[in-house]
């Protein structure tokens, strides 16, 4: 039952965080349509907020239920790639996360570009970013399974996978076509990708550096 509580807390935290980030990034619109801010049915979720909300919710619940934090983090490491792939699959179905327009489909392999609509319904040849996102999630999943099988980096796996996945998303975000504000000459989502990567890398280093101390005790 305690583990189910962790899953529920992660789901609630992820939904709240994902919507909160989307509203913050598009505040120019939502400030004039405040009633739509928490209307999940109208669409608009962002993965950085979903990740932070889910991790915070899961780890907070795990601490409250007095579960082993290392085991919970290692379990979340296996869940992360599945969630990432599901999000990209949902983006493909809901016309979000679409790529920039290309001159012609003939210039690209069939899997890399396709005729697809933007948020306004305008159909054009575009980079097929969801398939790239799903492939990167699958690579993260393969790495997570390898680490679990080899029984290495316990307690740090989640942070390592988040850091690597966020870096890959920073590269992918450079080819996204949806509108977001620009910060420091980059898309806001790219800046957030890099911040998440640095945050996760710092936590990974902290988890690894604390392990010798734990052994001494």
Question: What single DSSP character describes residue 117?
Answer: E
For 87-90, which contacts have Cβ atoms below 8 Å and span 24 or more sequence positions?
87/47, 87/50, 87/133, 88/129, 88/130, 88/133, 88/134, 88/137, 89/130, 89/134
- Are 159 and 103 in contact by the 8 Å Cβ rule? The answer is no
Burial of 78 (0-12, 13-18, 19+ CB in 10 A): middle
Distance CA 120, CA 159 (A): 37
Instruction: Give the pLDDT of the chain (217 residues) as one tens digit per residue.
Output: 567 889 899 999 998 998 898 888 888 888 777 877 777 666 677 889 999 999 999 999 999 999 999 999 999 999 999 999 998 998 888 878 899 999 999 999 999 999 999 888 899 999 999 999 999 999 999 999 999 999 999 999 999 999 999 999 999 999 999 888 999 999 999 999 999 999 999 999 999 998 654 444 4
- Are 130 and 97 in contact by the 8 Å Cβ rule? The answer is yes
Task: Note the pTM of the prediction, 2 decimals.
Answer: 0.90
């Amino acid at each position: 039952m305690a583990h189910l509580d962790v899953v529920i807390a992660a789901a609630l935290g992820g939904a709240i965080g994902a919507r909160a980030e989307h509203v913050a990034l598009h505040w120019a619109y939502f400030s004039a349509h405040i009633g739509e801010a928490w209307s999940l049915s109208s669409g608009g979720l962002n993965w950085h907020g979903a990740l932070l909300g889910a991790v915070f919710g899961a780890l907070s619940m795990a601490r409250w239920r007095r579960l082993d934090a290392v085991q919970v983090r290692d379990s979340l490491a296996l869940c992360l790639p599945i969630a990432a792939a599901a999000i990209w699959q949902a983006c493909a179905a809901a016309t979000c996360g679409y790529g920039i327009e290309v001159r012609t489909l003939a210039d690209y392999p069939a899997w890399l570009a396709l005729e697809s609509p933007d948020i306004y319904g305008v159909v054009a040849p575009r980079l097929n970013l969801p398939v790239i996102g799903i492939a990167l999630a699958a690579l993260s999943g393969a790495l997570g399974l390898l680490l679990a099988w080899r029984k290495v980096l316990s307690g740090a796996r989640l942070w390592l996978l988040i850091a690597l996945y966020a870096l890959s998303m920073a590269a992918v975000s450079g080819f996204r076509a949806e509108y977001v504000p620009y910060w420091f000459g980059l898309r806001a989502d790219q800046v957030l990708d890099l911040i998440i990567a640095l945050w996760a890398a710092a936590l990974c280093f902290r988890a690894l550096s604390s392990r010798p101390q734990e052994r001494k005790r």
